[in-house]
Structure formats: structure tokens, C-alpha cells
Chain A
């Protein structure tokens, strides 16, 4: 990818994020994801995982604990939740592109 094309893509992503935030859809997607994660017990599991990391490493250094927790926590999201939320985001993005054309 050329530098110009790359810059355009970065710009596009920033614009999309801004659109989602301004339209209130970012908040809607984020709240929806939070509700699902809470309902499927993911929130509790991540808290437990964090606590275990703190105890095992005997450390309360945020960057170190985060580095150990983040990959596993991302993996622990159920496929259903992940896919449905991504579909929801795609739905909003399709709206943007269709109205702009």
C-alpha cells in the first residue's frame, strides 16, 4: 500500500469513528456490548483473571497486569457476542456509505 492510500485509510477510519460518536451510535454499540458481556459472565471472569494476575505476580503495576490480561480477555468473548456486535457496526457503516453515495 502506498503512503497516500494508507493515509487515506487512516483518515477514513477517523472520520467513521467521528460519525459514529456524533450520531450517538458509538455509545449505543458500546452499551450493547457491555450489556452482553455482563450477561454472559465475561465481566466477572475478567475481574477474576485480573485478580489472579495481581496475586500471581504480586504486582499492582497497571501496564504489566494489562499486558497479561488483555489477550486472554479478548479471547474469552463469546463468538456470538463478537460477531453480532461486528454485524451491528457494519450495519451502521453501510448506512453511512449508502447515504453518501
Chain B
């Protein structure tokens, strides 16, 4: 009888584990199917093991070369100085 219990226990374990696997695989397959049908030219995010390129495979842009437009004074301001600019720009406007 204990031999039967042994083999039946293993079989029950196998039933459960294969059910779990089928569940995971079917969810992943359905998800990938949906992504591919909604976005036919879908590409996964870029992965760079050296950590220098972003999710689009593009290197980091120097922030000092980017400009934001200030709606308060209507000037272009360097992106990495925008917060400092706002402090002065908004203050001077409110004093006017």
C-alpha cells in the first residue's frame, strides 16, 4: 500500500505542476499574440548590458544641449537651468 501511496503522490504532484506550467505558458502566449496583432512592427525594448544605451538603443543626450521654452518670459532656457530660471523668472513677474 505504501508503494501505491508513493506513486500516487508523485502523480498528483505531476498533475499540479503541469497545470501550473500550462497556466503560465497559455497566459504568456495569449499576451504575446495580442501584442503582435495590435502592433505588427513591435520590437522589444532595447537591452544594453553595458548600461550606456536606453530602451530605444540611444545614448544619453547632454541635458545642457536641450532647451525648454519658458511660457512666462517667452524665452528658450537651457534644460538643466530651467528650475533656477523659474525661480527668478516667476518672482520678477509677480513683482511687476
Distance between B12 CB and nearest chain A CB, rounded to angstroms: 5
Judging by beta carbons under 8 Å apart, are A50 and B28 in contact?
yes
Contacts of A70 in B (CB 8 A): 18, 21-22, 25
How far is A73 from B22 in the complex, measured between Cα atoms in Å?
10
Q: Which of B5, B17, B33 contacts A93 (CB 8 A)?
A: B5
Chain A contact residues: helix, strand, loop or mixed: helix
Q: B8 interface residue, CB < 8 Å from A? A: yes
How far is A30 from B9 in the complex, measured between Cα atoms in Å?
13
Contacts of A62 in B (CB 8 A): 25-26, 29
- 18 additional A-B residue pairs with CB within 8 Å, beyond A47-B24, A86-B9: A17-B15, A29-B12, A30-B19, A46-B25, A60-B32, A60-B33, A60-B36, A62-B25, A66-B21, A66-B22, A70-B21, A74-B14, A74-B17, A74-B18, A86-B13, A89-B9, A90-B6, A93-B9
A-B contact list, 16 entries, CB within 8 Å: A12-B8, A30-B16, A33-B13, A33-B17, A50-B28, A50-B29, A54-B28, A61-B29, A65-B25, A65-B29, A66-B26, A85-B16, A86-B9, A90-B5, A93-B9, A94-B5
- Write the residues of chain A forming the contact surface with B, with a CB cutoff of 8 angstroms: 9, 12-13, 16-17, 20, 29-30, 33-34, 37, 43, 46-47, 50-51, 54-55, 60-62, 65-66, 69-70, 73-74, 77, 82, 85-86, 89-90, 93-94, 97
